[in-house]
Chains A and B, each alone.
Chain A
Amino acid sequence: MEQNKLWVVAENVDEGLREASFEVLTEVARLASRRGDQIMVLFCSAPDADVNKIGVELASYGADALLPLEVVPNSSRCVGGAIADLAKECRPDAIFIAETIWGHDVAAWVAAKLRTTLLSNCVELGLGPDQELTVTRHVYSDTVAVKYASLGEQTMVITIQPGLFNVKKAFPGKTINLLERHAAQAQNPDPVQVLGFIKADPRTVDIVDAERLVVGGKGMGTAENYKLIHEVAEILGAAVGGTRVARDNGWVTLDRQIGQTGKTVAPELLISCGVSGAIQHTMGLKETKCLVAINTDKHAPIHKLADLSIVDDAPRVLKEFIAKIKTG
């Protein structure tokens, strides 16, 4: 473990590792190959996880070693503690984590336990004239960039903003050194007890967080018709959004406007009704997974982006759809 100077802490999600963790790994691997450093990836593995398979994948992104962690209990405090203990022993140059909710908490615990600072939400990594690590953070609401260089005496704890770096398998066929599972039992168990999970209410959730959206534009015609959008949203458990025109007409509030001057959304499903698909609006749709467009104009640009285009009168389609659901 001692020769691994750069550590990347990967985050688990249900289907494997989080995309943001691969972004961090790709970027760190780019630096490591220039500096001739070894990268070790740490991740909290379930006992039944197929670490070999994960290892092969991580290697192709540039990881040199993989250390599966087994921390009991699995809270961010205990995970942070286990990583800090390892870091005190092995003294890596830096520990990188993606700035997610879990990532931030773990990084903060690691930094607190190492009594060092936390370079959170970094946007750029680089190497200085003497090959020392440099990191850039944006401060004052992203208006000022501050760059720091490592003096190399302490382990730096760095979190990286997700969504900035491309993911790239730059090292196909590379092999990984799979280390033995490291089990850590926290001496004093975390007294914070997790009791449950409450799913967001689609009626009040911020559209940025919404998993499903029904969006109306000028083509809905009237405020009365716009109520159909709300009804369909209710049926599908979706949140309501709108275009600029819908907002100007007072059908939605500004915090529900999607696009250049509104918000960027990332739903699994978005039903777009009476929306032309102007670029200023579709910019805000780019993370949408599945798009249904209902527009009378078959040449409307929104149809080009849609997974399902319905060339029809939107209020009527929605009305019939609601009737169909209600009658069963």
Chain B
Amino acid sequence: MKVVVLIKMTTVIRGNPNRAENLEAILDPGNVALDVNSYDLAALEEAQRLKESIDYVHITAVTVGPESAVKALQIAHGMGADELIWVDAQYEGGREMELAGLLAEVVSKQGFDLVLCGLKSDDVGTGLVGIGVAEILGIPAVTRSVKIEILPDGGPLQIHRHVGKGNREVVHCPLPAVITVERSRRMPRYPGVARYLAARKKIIRYAVEQQPGTQVSLRHVETKKAQPRPKKIFTPDDNLSAADRMKMIMTGGMARKKKKKAQSVVSGSEQLYNFLVKNGFLKNKA
């Protein structure tokens, strides 16, 4: 089975950005570092697990970016990828679908059964590229995977996807397909040093004639330091006293509620039990 993993380097802000006075200070080269996108590491880990679960899995890691992107491939190789492809091109934000088109071309040329990629990127990610590749190739896609299993006898893939609140949905997906991977409890393995160092010799570089590209219908207005946006303001009940309203705002909306008067005759555990039963949290055993 040929698995292609799409990875990229992301910009990580170091230090405490809240202390920085302005945007320049935040994005100062001394304060930022490049790191492999954490979701992509999860995708690489998932590819390795597939490799361990069945006999023949060939993993190709593909990255698009400037020279610095090569590090992502080194890490991929350190984690166990077999083939490394570096597409020397750069796509600024807003052109995700062109990037998806390029990736679709690369993976088709490479040949694949499964494309894995991160759900989104840590830095400016919109979470569009994976679905974009599937759309352009006209193949199925499953998002937010936390576990991929291969069913015996060439059946479809069985995928657990995260659907919020820690719950999962189990789906079957035939190959070829694109799967975007969510970060999960499965820690990505540490890249082996020898393979990390040996990676540079293996990298295949494609240079791409950068097309001027269709213009996205967006104008960049400004980039500035983000002000944390307050969450919804709770509007307290009018008939509360001023002190209670203050309290409610400070605690973010937990009103002073009417509570049961402590009934001294009933023990604490009885009170707890009765309350839980009455509110449907517990089935009455009696």
Contacts and interface: CB of A to CB of B under 8 A. Distances in A.
Nearest to B228: A142
The A contact surface, by secondary structure, is mixed
Among A124, A206, A312: residue with most chain B CB under 10 A: A312
A201 B279 CA distance: 22
Interface in B219-242: 219-229, 231-233, 235
**Chain A interface extent, by class:** 35 or more
Contacts of A142: 226, 228
Nearest to B128: A118
A100 B163 CA distance: 10
B245 interface: no
B170 A312 contact: no
Interface in A131-145: 134, 137-145
Given A117-B96, A146-B223, A190-B140, A154 B268 contact: no
A309 B216 contact: no
B269 A320 contact: yes
Interface stretch (B50-58, B59-67, B75-83, B259-267): B259-267
A41 B189 CA distance: 46
Contacts of B164: 100-101, 209
A145 B226 contact: yes
A236 B17 contact: no
A213 to B, nearest CB: 12
B251 A283 contact: yes
Given A101-B164, A306-B257, A195 B172 contact: yes
A318 B122 CA distance: 43
A154 B168 CA distance: 36
A209 B165 contact: yes
Contact of B251 (A117, A144, A282): A282
A236 B281 contact: yes
B281 A269 contact: yes
A36 interface: no
B131 A148 contact: no
Given A140-B123, A143-B17, A154-B217, A324 B228 contact: no
Interface stretch (A59-67, A176-184, A286-294): A286-294
B97 A191 contact: no
Contacts of A245: none
B132 interface: yes
B97 A117 contact: yes
Interface residues of B, number: 92
Contact of B254 (A149, A151, A200, A286): A286
Interface string A258-294: 0000000000110100000001001101101011101
Contacts of B208: none
Contacts of A141: 12-13, 122-123
Interface in B149-174: 156, 158, 160, 162-174
B23 A152 contact: no
A191 B171 contact: no
B192 interface: no
A117 B256 contact: no
Interface in B65-93: 93
A305 interface: yes
A144 B165 contact: no
Nearest to A148: B218
A104 interface: yes
Interface in A84-143: 100-101, 104-105, 108-109, 111-113, 115-120, 123-124, 128, 134, 137-143
Contacts of A152: 217
A138 B281 CA distance: 39
A294 B268 contact: yes
Contacts of A123: 229
B197 interface: no
Given A140-B11, A152-B217, A305-B251, A310 B272 contact: yes
A191 B112 CA distance: 18
Nearest to A291: B254
A149 B128 CA distance: 20
A176 to B, nearest CB: 25
B232 A286 contact: no
A308 B224 contact: no
Given A294-B272, A321-B273, A139 B169 contact: no
A145 B224 contact: yes
A116 B223 contact: no
Contacts of A195: 158, 170-172
A211 to B, nearest CB: 7
B135 A112 contact: yes
B126 A119 contact: yes
B8 interface: no
Contacts of A318: 269
A286 to B, nearest CB: 3
B3 to A, nearest CB: 18
Interface in A287-328: 288, 290-292, 294, 298, 303-313, 316-321, 323-325, 328
B269 A143 contact: no
Contact of A163 (B220, B232, B256): B232
Interface of B: 11-13, 17, 23, 26-27, 93-97, 100, 120, 122-128, 131-132, 134-136, 140-144, 156, 158, 160, 162-174, 185, 214, 216-229, 231-233, 235, 247, 250-254, 256-257, 259-260, 262, 267-273, 275-276, 279, 281-282, 285-286
